[in-house]
Amino acid sequence: MTKSNGSRRFSKRAIDIEPFRVVEILARAKELERQGREIIHLCAGEPDFSTAAPIREAGMRAISEGCTGYSEVGGIPKLRQALSEFYAEDYGIHVPPEKILITPGASGGILLICALLLNPREAMLVTDPGYPCNRHFMRLVEANAQLVPVTAQDNFQLTPELINQNWKENTVGAMVASPSNPTGTTLSRDDLKKISILLKKLGGHLIVDEIYHGLGFKKDIPSILEIDPNAFVVNSFSKYFGMTGWRLGWLVAPEDAVKEMEKLAQHLFISLSTPAQYAALACFEERTRIILDKRREIYRERKDFLLQALISLGFSVPCVPEGALYIYTNASKFTEDSDFFCMELLEGQGVAVTPGTDFGLIGAKQHVRFAYTADMDLLSSAVDRIAKMAC
Ligand SMILES: Cc1ncc(COP(=O)(O)O)c(C=O)c1O
């Protein structure tokens, strides 16, 4: 159907949903590369290592053995079992396979959670700044992300006080991430406990995005499941396990919620990628974990280097990241327009970074996110190039 002025008619929902700025910057970076420019990518939240060899080999084996049909909608039983054992070994907790649902990336999991928990016009508390897709998924189900401004003082995380202050009649829960994107900050055991107790009192749901677990730089980054077995957990094979392109994640939820989400997944997805699930079984082998843990140490080294370099250049980093793949900087010494700054940095110096405007409204124009998803040589030349713009 077209409108009288000849343009095509799209839903209000689709028009309301903003583009992912990271993707736009990536597209421009690719265009510049096609023109022969050498671009350093510190933009997307994607590990620069390819998937570890044992996982790739398991995937290839699955394909050559013909494991290419639809799988069970909630995931192959072996993978749900492997995740249950992973929780027992890594976290010391019992998570039965029936509480685990395999999803098409964490993205598929967030969509299922929004569809399950939110009626039209209801709201979920999320941080500003925070992961942008959450609020768009909420819009997709005709609900609202209630953006709660968080600052360095709160470690860029929700606190019980902020939840209380922002809770309204139509609020159904809170979604947090630890470690978070874009700030890399975490919630301590005590923080999680207080938030969980408060949400129980308010009768709301607690959703914790744990996608950056495994990429933490401090000893104790607890799962909410150690504290509250009824919380919803979003996780993924994308980041620590390095399988972004395989599109595989998982959810942990109360059993009745899993059953309901399985029903939704039947219609939305029918199945997960079967070869990807067989590949993911190799994630839990000791030889794979050794590779992945080494990579975490490489990320730590890069984070330490880039953090110091950016601070020396005059960026301010109000919270030192405790995990994830990012440094979230206040660039107000250089710009009051982070979109313009990031485009200038890309066009002029060939360094792709993400403006704060991708992550919310508060301080967005003054903040820039740097992803340390390039090796030390590239990071070092990125710093030289940024210096040219930042002086
Ligand atoms: C906090 C957070 N949650 C979820 C996702 C979605 O990840 P995927 O769908 O690749 O598992 C991302 C991706 O960057 C993220 O940063």
- pLDDT digits over 260-300, tens only? 999 999 999 999 999 999 999 999 999 999 999 999 999 99
CATH (one of 3.40.640.10, 3.40.50.720, 3.30.450.20, 3.30.365.10) for 53-284: 3.40.640.10
pLDDT at 6 over 80: no
Ligand 1 atom nearest 324 alpha carbon = 16
Cβ atoms within 10 Å, residue 13: 12
Gyration radius of the chain's alpha carbons? 21
Residue to mutate, 114, 180, 237, 238, ligand 1, most ligand atoms under 8 Å from C-beta = 238
Q: Which of 290, 321, 293, 287 is nearest to 306 (CA)?
A: 321
Per-residue pLDDT at 4 exceeds 90: no
Rounded CA-CA distance 18/13 in Å is 10
Give the C-alpha separation, 265 to 268, whole Å: 5
How far CA 4 is from CA of 10, 16, 227, 357, in Å, comes to 13, 21, 57, 34
The count of residues in the chain is 391
**What is the percent of the chain where pLDDT is above 90?**
94
Structure confidence at residue 158 (pLDDT): 98
**Whole-number mean pLDDT of the chain?**
96
Distance CA 302, CA 12 (A): 43
pTM of structure: 0.96
380 CA to middle of ligand 1, Å? 27
Q: State in Å: Cα 77 to ligand 1 middle.
A: 24
Q: Which atom of ligand 1 lies closest to the CA of 248?
A: 11
Q: What CATH number should be reported for the domain whose range is 12-50+288-390?
A: 3.90.1150.10
Q: How far apart are CA 40 and CA 299, in angstroms?
A: 16
What confidence tens digit (pLDDT) does each residue in 105-151 have? Answer: 999 999 999 999 999 999 999 999 999 999 999 999 999 999 999 99
User: In the chain, which residues fall in CATH 3.90.1150.10?
Assistant: 12-50+288-390
pLDDT in tens, 299-319: 999 999 999 999 999 999 999
Asked if the model's pLDDT at residue 167 lies above 70, the reply is yes
Q: Which two tokens stand for residue 300?
A: 């730590």
Structure tokens of 237?
A: 């094979």
Q: Cβ-count burial of 136 within 10 angstroms (0-12 exposed, 13-18 middle, 19+ buried)?
A: middle
pLDDT at 391 exceeding the cut of 70: no
- pLDDT for 27 beyond 80: yes
Pair 272, 248: CB distance under 8 Å: yes
Q: 8 or 170: whose pLDDT is higher?
A: 170
Question: Is residue 160 scored above 80 in pLDDT?
Answer: yes
Position 1 confidence tier, pLDDT thresholds 50, 70, 90: low
Q: Name the pLDDT band for 24 (thresholds 50, 70, 90).
A: confident
Distance (Å) from CA 6 to ligand 1 centroid: 37
What the block records as the tokens of 342 is: 């990031």
Residues 6+ apart with CB under 8 A from 130: 147, 177, 180, 181, 182, 359, 360
pLDDT band at 19 (very low <50, low <70, confident <90, very high): confident
Give the pocket of ligand 1 (CB within 6 Å).
45, 105-107, 131, 177, 181, 209, 211, 236, 238, 244, 249
Run of H or E residues at 206: strand 205-209
| d(C-alpha 223, C-alpha 213), whole Å | 8
Split at pLDDT 50, 70, 90, the class of 7 is confident
220: tokens are: 């104790």
For 198-253, write each residue's pLDDT tens digit: 999 999 999 999 999 999 999 899 999 999 999 999 999 999 999 999 999 999 99
Kindly report, as residue ranges, where domains of CATH 3.40.640.10 are found in the chain: 53-284
CB 88 within 8 A of CB 94: yes
pLDDT exceeds 70 at position 372: yes
Q: What pLDDT does 23 receive?
A: 84
